[in-house]
Structure 1
Amino acid sequence: MSNTEHTKKVYTLNTGAQIPALGLGTWQSKPNEVREAVKNALLRGYRHIDTALAYGNEAEVGAGIKDSGVPREEIWITTKLDNPWHKRVSEGIDSSLKSLGTDYVDLYLMHWPSSTDPEDLSKHYPDWDFIKTWQELQKLPATNKVRNIGVSNFGIKNLEKLLNDPSCKIVPAVNQIELHPNNPSPKLVAYNTSKGIHSTGYSCLGSTDSPLYKDPTLLQLAEKKGKSPQQVLLLWGLQKGWSVIPKSVTKARIDANFDLDGSELTAEEINQLDNLKDRFKVCGDAWLPIQVFFGDDE
């Protein structure tokens, strides 16, 4: 396989499992759109689908997988434990499996390091934190309901707290974090790598109406390469060494996001994107009852 066959690329996790480098994200996809998007993506050749209990679309994702006719064992499914379910991990995975219509998921992530009281989402459990949640998650691989476990939205501070706790027997296989040239988080990615944790980039296209699409460096680079800005952003992430899960429900965009083989950014072009001056986060932590981002990951 040449290094430009991005759509066939996989990354080997610390468990030995292989996660497809390119996947379909389903966050913020409207109801009745996800099923068709998942089917179209799988028929186009995607083999990695990312969802979450919090997205409210696991049943549609499962229906789209079934509609595609692609065998379950050929598909990598990631889903996530929602914040109000931290004390109910076994119920959380059972709920997701039932909605998805599958016996197992390939990757189960703690969506946020925030254990939220389901009776009052503005409150954090006083007697429970993500360390205890991870203790419960560590039990899941033995049940065969989950092949790999990981985290999402964990910065260096919280990762260190987790990894240094004596109860942490399994190092997360993946840390899914926001990654694009305006939020590149090089220190966090390097920390993940140093601990054997694979990085998956969400909002890798900068999300809807992103300021990125007005960036002259990106636009000029896309024109020079004969690619869309979105394709350039995906190449940047893939060549930096992480998996990417671009979200789309439009068939033409789903297809275009997969049309990357034979394209490559030079080291100089990657460096140009690495050094874009603007910074913004699509997903902050102001809506959570506790702070989870500390600005130490750049």
Structure 2
Amino acid sequence: MIGFGTWQLGSRTAYESVRAALEIGYRHIDTATLYQNEADVGRAVKDSGLGREQVFVTTKLRPQDARHARRTLESSLRLLDTGYVDLWLIHWPTGQDELVSTWRELLSAKDAGLARNVGVSNYSPALIDELTEATGQQPAVNQVSWSPAQHDPALLDEHRRRGIAVEGYSGLKNTDMRDPVLTGIAQRHGVTPAQVVLRWHLEHDIAILPRSSRREHIAANFDLDGFALTKDEVTAIDTLTRTG
């Protein structure tokens, strides 16, 4: 449920940050072809001393690579220096012409054992239904931007009804940490507003992918077990949603 994001982490920083995350206790690392740091992520996992099966690794396919999806995944696996990824996602929707054929490529890679699970990112429930109706198999995951300001209970329910896990990215980036609702809750629990926001995601069963290159922030973002939000606190954060 607590993954480590690597977007915008350059080569050396990605390696050092992933090593730090794994030392701190993270066991879920999220990268993508787009990020151009798969080799550094793979090296960090290798050098951590952890067994490959102990670390859940996600990478993503750019829509522009859809016509040679399998080749792109094989390149990702070479860079990551692993025989499989735990989760392979389509990074954002392809054009309508390639929508179903790209999903079939992901399902084929799963059948071949190159990806343990396959899913999508930034897809609407309608697009997900299109994939499912065409193939009989739905994505395991939809990774989407999620924060208190973007909280959409109806959208969350759409995923729940389908049995699709939601991973939220940019939860901290899109949140005003000085909001009095967050600072007040943080003060009551003796934690930071960022920790409150991440814990709020977990209270909604949304997996999180916080990213940082600073070890103290990497550690704080993982340290969410020592407190829980009350129902009233969760509701107060829900109401930070921007409207209009």
* TM value normalised by structure 2: 0.95
Q: For 1:109 and 1:164, how far apart are their aligned partners in 2?
A: 18
SS in 2 for 1:40: helix
- Report what 2:43 is aligned to: 63
- Report what 2:9 is aligned to: 29
Contact 2:59 2:85 in 1 (8 A): yes
SS in 1 for 2:29: strand
Residue from 171, 178, 184 that aligns with 2:145: 178
- Report what 1:197 is aligned to: 164
**Cα deviation digits, residues 77-136 of structure 1 (max 9, x gap):** 011011211111111110110111111000000111124xxxxxxxxxx8x321111111
- Report what 2:112 is aligned to: 143
**Cα deviation digits, residues 169-197 of structure 1 (max 9, x gap):** 32111111111101113222111111111
- Report what 2:178 is aligned to: 214
Offset at residue 255 of structure 1 (A): 0.7
Contact 1:40 1:68 in 2 (8 A): no
Q: In structure 2, what residue type is equivalent to 1:76?
A: F
Q: For 1:96 and 1:279, how far apart are their aligned partners in 2?
A: 39
Q: For 1:194 and 1:235, how far apart are their aligned partners in 2?
A: 23
Gaps of 5+ in 2: none
Alpha-carbon distance change, 129 to 187 in structure 1, aligned in 2, over 3 angstroms: farther
Residue from 222, 225, 230 that aligns with 1:258: 222
- Higher mean C-alpha deviation, range 156-165 or range 105-114: 156-165
Q: In structure 2, what residue type is equivalent to 1:213?
A: M
Task: Say if 2:237 is the partner of 1:273.
Answer: yes
Gaps of 5+ in 1: 1-20, 116-125, 281-298
Residue from 228, 232, 235 that aligns with 2:192: 228
**Cα deviation digits, residues 150-180 of structure 1 (max 9, x gap):** 0110112322322333xx2321111111111
Contact 2:151 2:241 in 1 (8 A): no
Contact 1:25 1:51 in 2 (8 A): yes
Q: For 1:211 and 1:265, how far apart are their aligned partners in 2?
A: 18
Task: Say if 2:47 is the partner of 1:83.
Answer: no
Q: In structure 2, what residue type is equivalent to 1:195?
A: R
Q: Percent identity?
A: 40
- Report what 1:10 is aligned to: none
* TM value normalised by structure 1: 0.78
Runs of 4+ in 1 over 6 A off after TM superposition: none
Alpha-carbon distance change, 277 to 133 in structure 1, aligned in 2, over 3 angstroms: closer
- Report what 2:129 is aligned to: 160
**Cα deviation digits, residues 209-259 of structure 1 (max 9, x gap):** x45223221122112221111110111001111211111111111111111
Q: Which has the higher helix share?
A: 2
- Report what 1:119 is aligned to: none
Offset at residue 279 of structure 1 (A): 5.9
Q: In structure 2, what residue type is equivalent to 1:148?
A: N
Aligned-pair RMSD on alpha carbons? 1.6
**Cα deviation digits, residues 243-287 of structure 1 (max 9, x gap):** 11111111111111111122100000000000014369xxxxxxx
> When the two structures are aligned, how many residues end up with a matched partner?
244
SS in 2 for 1:94: helix
- Report what 1:52 is aligned to: 32
Residue from 97, 104, 107 that aligns with 2:84: 104
